[in-house]
């Protein structure tokens, strides 16, 4: 009796994670023999899928006619219904040919987390001989061939060659499913650790790896396990080969390592130990271009690579992040139940995780998430400066922001309120924090990508450059002495106007962010679902907000938020406020790059006739770059001899 298997299947907390083991394969591979033996070994029931056929199917088969997909559908649904009910009580085994992927999808529908596939395989000749050597059995080679013809190799199954004896097959299944872990986490930094705990709390049996660096990183995985009771079933490693070997096949390994070359190094270190159809998930903030390359590269090695943006920071990773996976769709199907279980849940209790699209689209989407995040953060910083210039102390600023929560709540607003309130001793902590904003590069990449795609993501650029400006602390000190500020020249701004200006800029920020996603979707043929992206950003991530919730239905009808009537009305409502707030900030020499860029951009994008005709004339003047004329719609290029 394999106690580990029993432990694994009963350790589940959220749902009773009983397991169903489907033993599949063409006729004659020995499904029933193996199923029965395994049932005895594990003391769990065994069922033969053939017992679920309708009378019509039985009559058809008895008359020698093969079943078609339509006949099979009802049969598969019957097995699925039976299994779903049975799962509430215990684990069990079902033998069923399940040769096509769509059959397997019906069989596992609604219980993806509980299903384990074991595919017994062999060559045609091997199986033909096996069947016909049995005294009570004969199968024509045509009939067997027809099964081989429709067999779609299950990528997510434990593949076992029928060369082995039934006893050996059962031992292989027991050791793979009983002792081996379902999921591997590589890299136990802050995010990796939180995800391990989240996976374990969701009842998954995981293996955890952290490298061994003498005197620097020693026994990280072991110590981590020891410090957290919820990891009692997790297995710690600092040896790559042993870590990989501890995982059920196809192996599912999530890399939580620093973006950049480290990801490539880790992939190269893992590759010799991996097998066909294993799945690697990069959960870091990798550059989408690198993810595009890695998806392609790993295809050549028969490994499914998933680039998954993960947002929510340390706490999000622990309690439910927003996850943006892309790349191998086949691979994704195998990890969907893991990511879905650990992800945050939206208002309808659906996971804030969805397959984003091919290549590095998931990391692109995460990158734009961060671009929007940069702007949201910068806007709150600018609002803080304006309120401070109005004479509010930190507590008052926090109270003002607190009063906005009813109309415009967001995670970033909430944490900013807490930040303003935080004291260290008698003084505000914020006053002691050096005003040089750091960054890890995603805002930079978003700005580069916008420029490459020809999309004016001007607020993201403004937020990024505001961070760069802040970084020049020494120069700022010099200039602040040389260019003394004018005295306050304008009366206080109404607090409601400041809030409305903030709202205006946030709408423009989200408009620009989703326009950038739309442009990338078209340019890279990614077919991004913007509404679904907004949905998975309604919880778990840093930019979750009530505004994001409002955008979900809007983006299912348009990719352009400003076309939507409700948002048009809001923009018109907030427009007077943004003009006053920006004008007065400039007059009072308060730097508000994002607030002001929101209205500048708005003024540009809402003008039917712009000043770009002057630019065209200038280009033609000095460079003979030509221009088009509004009184000629043929598209012809004109050049003028300006002298």
Where on the chain is the footprint of ligand 6PG (CB under 6 A)? Answer: 285, 311-313, 370, 373, 438-440, 442-443, 541-542
Nearer to ligand 6PG among residue 8 and residue 419 (C-beta): 419
Nearer to ligand 6PG among residue 238 and residue 373 (C-beta): 373
Catalytic pick among 373, 376, 382, 550:
373
Report the nearest approach of ligand 6PG to the CB of residue 283 (Å).
10
Integer Cα distance of 406 and 408 in angstroms = 6
The alpha carbon of residue 450 and the mean position of all alpha carbons in its chain are separated, in whole angstroms, by: 21
Integer Cα distance of 445 and 362 in angstroms = 14
Nearest Cα residue to 508 out of 554, 557, 457, 464:
457
Structure tokens at 299: 């295809």
Report the nearest approach of ligand 6PG to the CB of residue 185 (Å).
17
Integer Cα distance of 349 and 375 in angstroms = 28
Nearer to ligand 6PG among residue 307 and residue 312 (C-beta): 312
366 is catalytic: yes
Non-local (6+) Cβ contacts of 229 within 8 A are none
Report the nearest approach of ligand 6PG to the CB of residue 563 (Å).
28
Integer Cα distance of 17 and 115 in angstroms = 10
Nearer to ligand 6PG among residue 231 and residue 365 (C-beta): 365
Integer Cα distance of 75 and 106 in angstroms = 10
436 is catalytic: no
Nearer to ligand 6PG among residue 385 and residue 439 (C-beta): 439
Q: Cα torsion at 98, 101, 102, 104 (round to 10°)?
A: 50
Catalytic pick among 31, 252, 366, 544:
366
Report the nearest approach of ligand 6PG to the CB of residue 439 (Å).
4
Report the nearest approach of ligand 6PG to the CB of residue 195 (Å).
12
Nearest Cα residue to 180 out of 114, 93, 272, 245:
245
For the sheet containing 46-48, what is the strand order?
A: 46-48, 92-95, 20-24, 115-121, 157-161
Structure tokens at 640: 């003028």
Report the nearest approach of ligand 6PG to the CB of residue 70 (Å).
47
Nearer to ligand 6PG among residue 459 and residue 599 (C-beta): 459
Nearer to ligand 6PG among residue 248 and residue 442 (C-beta): 442
Q: Give phi and psi for 357, each to the nearest 5.
A: 160, -170
Nearest Cα residue to 204 out of 172, 156, 269, 252:
252
Report the nearest approach of ligand 6PG to the CB of residue 601 (Å).
22
Can you list the alpha helix ranges (DSSP code H) found in 281-410?
288-299, 313-319, 329-342, 361-389, 394-404
Question: Residue 47's beta-bridge partner residues?
Answer: 94
Residue nearest to ligand 6PG (CB): 311
For residue 382, count CB atoms less than 10 angstroms from its CB and return exposed for 0-12, middle for 13-18, buried for 19 or more. Answer: buried
Q: Which residues form the catalytic set?
A: 366, 373
């Amino acid at each position: 009796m394999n106690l580990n298997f029993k432990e694994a299947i009963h350790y589940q907390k959220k749902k009773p994670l009983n397991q169903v083991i489907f033993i599949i394969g063409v006729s004659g591979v020995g499904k029933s023999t193996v199923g029965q033996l395994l049932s005895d070994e594990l003391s769990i029931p065994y069922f033969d899928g053939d017992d679920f056929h309708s009378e019509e199917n039985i009559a058809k088969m008895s008359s020698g006619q093969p079943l078609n997909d339509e006949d099979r559908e009802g049969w598969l649904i019957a097995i699925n219904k039976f299994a779903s009910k049975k799962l509430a009580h215990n684990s069990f085994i079902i033998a069923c040919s399940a040769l096509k992927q769509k059959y397997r999808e019906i069989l596992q529908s609604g219980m993806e987390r509980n299903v384990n596939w074991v595919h017994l395989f062999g060559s045609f000749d091997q199986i033909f001989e096996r069947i016909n050597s049995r005294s009570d059995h004969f199968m024509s080679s045509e009939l067997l061939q027809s099964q081989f013809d429709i067999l779609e190799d299950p990528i997510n199954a434990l593949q076992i060659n029928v060369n082995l004896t039934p006893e050996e097959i059962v031992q292989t299944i027991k050791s793979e499913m009983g002792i081996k872990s379902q999921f591997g986490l590589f890299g136990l930094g802050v995010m990796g650790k939180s995800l391990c705990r989240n996976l374990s709390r969701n009842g998954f049996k995981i293996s955890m790896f952290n490298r061994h660096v003498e005197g620097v990183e020693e026994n990280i995985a072991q110590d981590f396990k020891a410090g957290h009771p919820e990891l009692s079933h997790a297995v710690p490693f600092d040896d790559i080969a042993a870590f990989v070997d501890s995982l059920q096949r196809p192996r599912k390994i999530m890399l939580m390592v620093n973006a950049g070359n480290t990801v490539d190094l880790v992939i190269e270190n893992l590759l010799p130990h991996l097998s066909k159809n294993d799945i690697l998930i990069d959960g870091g903030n990798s550059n989408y271009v690198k993810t595009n390359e890695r998806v392609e590269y790993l295809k050549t090695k028969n490994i499914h690579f998933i680039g998954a943006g993960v947002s929510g920071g340390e706490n999000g990773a622990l309690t439910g992040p927003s996850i943006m996976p892309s790349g191998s769709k086949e691979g994704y199907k195998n990890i969907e139940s893991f990511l879905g279980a650990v992800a945050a849940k939206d208002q309808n209790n659906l996971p804030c995780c969805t397959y984003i699209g091919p290549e590095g689209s998931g990391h692109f989407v995460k990158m734009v998430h961060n671009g929007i995040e940069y702007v949201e953060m910068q806007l709150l910083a600018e609002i803080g400066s304006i309120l401070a210039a109005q004479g509010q102390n930190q507590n008052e600023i926090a109270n003002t922001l607190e009063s906005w929560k009813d109309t415009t709540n967001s995670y970033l607003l909430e944490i900013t309120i807490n930040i303003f309130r935080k004291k260290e001793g008698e003084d505000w902590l914020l006053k002691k924090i050096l005003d040089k904003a750091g960054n890890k590069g995603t805002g930079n990449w978003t700005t580069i990508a916008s420029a490459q795609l020809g999309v004016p993501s001007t607020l993201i650029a403004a937020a990024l450059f505001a961070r760069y400006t802040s970084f020049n602390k020494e120069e700022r000190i010099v200039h602040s002495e040389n260019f003394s500020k004018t005295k306050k020249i304008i009366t206080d701004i109404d607090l409601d106007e400041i809030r409305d200006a903030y709202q205006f800029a946030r709408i423009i920020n989200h408009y620009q962010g989703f326009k950038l996603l739309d442009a990338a979707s078209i340019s890279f043929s990614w077919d991004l679902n913007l509404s679904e992206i907004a949905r998975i950003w309604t919880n778990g991530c840093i930019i979750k907000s009530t505004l994001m919730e409002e955008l979900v239905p809007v983006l299912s009808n348009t990719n352009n938020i400003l076309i939507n009537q409700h948002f048009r009305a809001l923009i018109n409502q907030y427009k007077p406020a943004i003009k006053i707030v920006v004008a007065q900030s400039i007059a009072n020499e308060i730097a508000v790059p994002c607030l002001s860029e929101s209205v500048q951009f708005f003024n540009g994008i809402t003008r039917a006739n712009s000043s770009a005709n002057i630019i065209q004339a200038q280009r033609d003047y000095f460079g003979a770059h030509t221009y088009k004329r509004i009184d000629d719609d043929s598209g012809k290029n004109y050049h003028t001899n300006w002298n």
